[in-house]
Structure 1
């Protein structure tokens, strides 16, 4: 399933493909058997420092030992807080924030042009206020079978997700 396929026919995240930050198509099938956090990121948000820092810590703590995978999707839909191109975003994530988790190309997470994966995630785990992504750093937990099982608000610090993650490791 490519970025333009109807998300309604998907049963898990494994039905999707997304472009990584280098522009390569990546089948999300590669995450089969892993617990994943899927998050929309931005480099110029008030939530950036804490979220990146704690996502990096979660990756270090649970990546090898428990198989956690973090899929970060830059998004510029919220006050233009991710204005850079792929090279600038990758440089910021790796060099400034120390992120070694998987980074994808910038996507839209709301509206008609939202990436189908994000339409799927929001449908499976709707937000409190409706079926949309409220802000940068909305976090979805996906179980080992590719099912979205939890959603966390942008203001929820990633380390506060550990109890939920532990249910699925």
Structure 2
């Protein structure tokens, strides 16, 4: 199975697109995702914090999650699954004062956070190939997942932020060249 691990903010939403009716999800970004899924036949697995709007056990969905699902359906897309929540923990306590730049140097505790969630999902399913769409580095390299990561951006004008048409070929290249976690040394 081919998988697209999908973050929402910074991929389908950007700082320059505002529409409360869609929870700021840009239909143009969803269209690009749809073109990508149609070309690759990949399944969408939600890694975003938006997944907290869906309780797998009860089936209960928050309104914002329903909006996300509704917009995806309009473009022929569906969420195949969501990753388990493994909250990020840090190795060292945060200092009393720190800058935003300092956050880049804070190390996460291995086995926690989004990369651990993706790693677990891959191990629990028959994943042949995958790509990660995310605007943030969640220690992808530490988990051997960085070669499968498309680094998008939340910031900038819409023509430069979020999922872009230029990403489609790169996503397809990643899925076609079989760079997968299972093929990484030590895994």
TM bucket (normalised to shorter chain) is: 0.3 to 0.5
Question: Larger % of strand: which?
Answer: 1
Under a length normalisation based on structure 1, what TM-score does the superposition of the two structures give?
0.44
